[in-house]
Amino acid sequence: MNKYIATHTFKSEALRTQYYEVASSMAPADIKAMVTGDKAVCLKNWTNGEKSMKAYCQWEADNPEAIIEQLGDMNNFFHTVSEEMNDEIDFTSM
């Protein structure tokens, strides 16, 4: 699997609000199960709640399409653009 950073841009403010309402009603383990599959796994998520129209996720996936497939109906809330990020530089260890 390759490493990706996905930018999820909400399609509207109303869909952003609806997304956070749905997500807040779910257990974290259930959300993790929804974003974990054989071809794509979400490792980390950064969001600023309703202060931003974007959320960012770190994924390991076979390809960008696998991320879209794994998101399934969740991707109805936002547009997803994934960029492959396989080179790592750890500035903290330099």
Contacts of residues 8-12 at CB distance under 8 Å and 24 or more positions apart, as own/partner, are 8/54, 8/55, 8/56, 8/57, 8/77, 8/78, 8/79, 8/80, 9/53, 9/54, 9/78, 9/79, 9/80, 9/81, 10/53, 10/54, 10/55, 10/77, 10/78, 11/77, 11/78, 11/79
The band of 4, judged by pLDDT with boundaries at 50, 70 and 90, is very high
The band of 80, judged by pLDDT with boundaries at 50, 70 and 90, is very high
The band of 93, judged by pLDDT with boundaries at 50, 70 and 90, is confident
What is the set of domains in the chain, with CATH numbers? 2-85 (3.30.70)
